Amino acid sequence: MTAMLQASRIWKSFGDHVVLKGVDLAVERGEVVAVLGPSGSGKSTLLRCLNFLETPDSGSVTLGDERIGVLEKQGTLYESTPVQLAAQRARMGMVFQRFNLFGHMSALDNVTAPLRIVRGMSPSDARQRGEAILTRVGLAEHAQKRPPQLSGGQQQRVAIARAIAMEPEAILFDEPTSALDPELVHEVLDVMADLAREGMTMVVVTHEIGFARHVASRVLFMDDGAIVEEGDARAVLDSPANPRTQAFLAKVR
Ligand SMILES: Nc1ncnc2c1ncn2[C@@H]1O[C@H](COP(=O)(O)OP(=O)(O)OP(=O)(O)O)[C@@H](O)[C@H]1O
Ligand SMILES: [Mg+2]
């Protein structure tokens, strides 16, 4: 079976700094993969290469049966146009550490704007879907508030709602809770755990070992631009084989 999201031999450098060294990643439909690793190991860069927010220097990414960032015409590969790339990116949601919401728009408008603008949905259909999804993430009564009127945990749930609303095939999360006050972390992790239970395909860069243990099916450990260990979440977390994984886990626990 081919994986739903597959990255092969991804290399990426910034200047002469080689940040990703031939990373392979395959994520099955409905799988939740947690990506752990020290700062600077390339986790965010890998995530950003998956949806071509960064263009890999070489390697390929496929989602379903479509190459991301590249079009094949009669055996020749062409770079996707910005419009084509935007359409491909819309198939993968992305949730960032710092929410990236529009501060001047209500929570509801943050969720519905991409539905109207990217999907061409009517305002009333978009509002209906937006309200239903805000309810799902526990924010029904906050729909009309703007991000500055919401807590960090609530803002991150708006960002997750915005991603879900687009009905993506997978959602990529880059440290979604690391900008939050500790007491707000669980409300965001709970929403993510619900999503996982509903079968969403997720790649989650996180330092939340508890989340990785209980929600992820698989853990990848990155160090210095490479995946140095991967496997069943509990197996890797309870008895890591690689000394670098061992050292990292000893520090974050
Ligand atoms: N746009 C960029 N230009 C230059 N260097 C970059 C750029 N993005 C990332 N890097 C460098 O690439 C390396 C990997 O960065 P990346 O953000 O992927 O690490 P990370 O594992 O996500 O770290 P953290 O846990 O701190 O978020 C770092 O040394 C970083 O400074
Ligand atoms: Mg990062």
In this structure, the residue with its CA closest to atom 16 of ligand 1 is: 42
Place of tokens 């924010």: 139
Give the atom of ligand 1 at the shortest distance from the alpha carbon of 45: 18
* Higher local confidence (pLDDT), 35 or 78: 35
Q: How far apart are CA 179 and CA 66, in angstroms?
A: 34
In this structure, the residue with its CA closest to atom 26 of ligand 1 is: 39
Please report which ligand is nearest the Cα atom of 96: 2
Find the 198 Cα to ligand 2 centroid distance in Å. 26
Q: Is 201 in the pocket of ligand 1 (CB under 6 A)?
A: no
Neighbours of ion ligand 2 (CB under 5 A): 44
Main-chain dihedrals φ then ψ at residue 15, nearest 5 degrees: 60, -130
> Please, how many CA atoms are within 13 Å of residue 38, restricted to the half-sphere of its CB?
13
- 34 closest CA partner among 178, 240, 206, 176: 206
Answer positive or negative: Cα dihedral of 20, 206, 223, 241. negative
pLDDT of residue 76: 86
Evaluate if residue 253 carries a pLDDT over 90.
no
**Is residue 1 very low, low, confident or very high in pLDDT (cuts 50, 70, 90)?**
low
Please report which ligand is nearest the Cα atom of 54: 1
Find the 73 Cα to ligand 2 centroid distance in Å. 35
Find the 40 Cα to ligand 1 centroid distance in Å. 5
pLDDT of residue 78: 86
pLDDT of residue 79: 87
What pLDDT digit, counting tens, does each position of 138-160 carry?
999 999 999 999 999 999 999 99
Find the 44 Cα to ligand 1 centroid distance in Å. 7
